[in-house]
Homo-oligomer: A and B are copies of this chain.
Amino acid sequence: MKLAELSERSGVSTATIKYYLREGLLPPGRRVTATRSAYDDSHLQRLRLVRALIQVGRVPVATAREVLAALEDDSLDHHHRLGIAVGALPGAAEPDPGAPAADLARHTVDALLSRLNWREGAHACGPGSPAYGTLVDAVGALVRLNYPCAVDDLLPYARAAAELAVTDLDLVERYDSPDAQVEAAVALTVLYEPVLLSLRRIAEARESGRRFTSG
């Protein structure tokens, strides 16, 4: 497959594909001659994943590169590859680096994870993981704005998250090879986020209608 064909089939402009190649988001094609390379279906698949990460997941290009690197790191076992790849995904932008109310937030998050007995799993739970940091930041924002975020307030969200994780991993286990599973885990984590958030808003509107309208 030539570059132009890859572009046509993926709907991504050749300029952008060249850019992704330059940035290392897409492995170079097989060199046919000095000025020509051939691409295959794996490039097409990877290109689609990159678009999903960047366009749907709003993952910065630099971060996407890390995620993809973890995806291909054969030196790691299945669980660790998955943890690193998903862990490299970004969360919300962090707030002011100054630490106003961050202590309370951290304490709340720690109490929540303890309550759930989520402390022992080292990966992506520990204070070093991105998800943990994002969670502390998010709770910190709630604290600063005086919105409820006690452990008891957060618990229902954690329970929902636990159920969602089971569903997610069930989807992942539909894939056969470990490689496909890791890629699916990354893609589904990112791609189901807008699904979940939209459904939540729709459900909120329904629930609001149920509570606040007469008739």
Contacts and interface: CB of A to CB of B under 8 A. Distances in A.
Interface of A: 11, 48-49, 51-52, 55-58, 77-79, 82-83, 86-87, 89, 91-93, 95-96, 98, 100, 113, 118, 121, 123-125, 129, 131-132, 134-135, 137-139, 141-142, 144-145, 147-149, 153-154, 156-158, 160-169, 171, 173-174, 184-185, 187-189, 191-209, 211-213
A196 to B, nearest CB: 5
A204 B191 contact: no
A204 B86 contact: yes
Contacts of A157: 164, 167, 192, 195-196, 199
Contact of A124 (B144, B160, B204): B204
Contacts of A98: 11
